[in-house]
Amino acid sequence: MKKIILLVVGIGFNAFMYGQGTINIDTEKSVINWSGSKLFQFNEHYGTVKFSKGTIFWSGNMVMGGYFEADMNSIVNTDGKYNDMLVSHLKNEDFFDVENNPIAQLKIVEALYVEEDEIGVEALLTIKEVTHPIKFRMSVEERDQTYVFKSKFVIDRTRWGISYESKGIIGSVKESIISDAIAFEVVLVTKPGC
């Protein structure tokens, strides 16, 4: 009986993946890892941001697009340095101005398979109501009736109007200059059998 149930679940999941439609991510298991650093010091900070929602669009067995929202109020610092003070600063107008911009968005506009388990992605990233295109690679892994998508990319924060202590700001003290680069490592986990 157990084998029959597993077979039915497997058939249903394959029909889902090889059909057409949408699949939602599991916002509890999906996460955005971020890191930033001072430009002239070995002083890196890192942490996480949670998704408020996310949907992957597919056709056949191929990802065609997606739309995701990150809850900027969920920013945390996990390196153990300056925790509350740092998070408060990241949320204020010097950085992400979370009170006025509580949601960041990413929309996948093109997905091109470069390998069976790797996708070249073109997307639109919106932070603080500023939108710019970005490109990155995304891996795909099937795991326990779910799919796991992983990607890494780096943005220049000044393109999204985040210029606090940037190297381009005249008069910035060398020791306090913060790198313009913010690195992201994103893990998307789909809900099983959606």
Give the tens place of pLDDT for each residue, 97-145. 999 999 999 999 999 999 999 999 999 999 999 999 999 999 999 988 8
Helix runs in 18-170, H state only: 83-91
Residue 61 lies in a domain: yes
- Whole-number pLDDT of residue 192: 85
Residue 85 lies in a domain: yes
Residue 180 lies in a domain: yes
Residue 80 lies in a domain: yes
Residue 176 lies in a domain: yes
- Whole-number pLDDT of residue 20: 77
C-alpha separations of 32 from 150, 178, 189 in Å? 10, 21, 11
Domain residues for the domain of 50 are 2-189
CATH of the domain at 68: 2.40.128.110
Q: What are the residue ranges in the chain where pLDDT is below 50?
A: 1-18, 170-175
- Whole-number pLDDT of residue 194: 54
Are 186 and 125 a contacting pair, CB within 8 Å?
no
Residue 194 lies in a domain: no
Give the global pTM: 0.83
How many separate domains does the chain show? 1
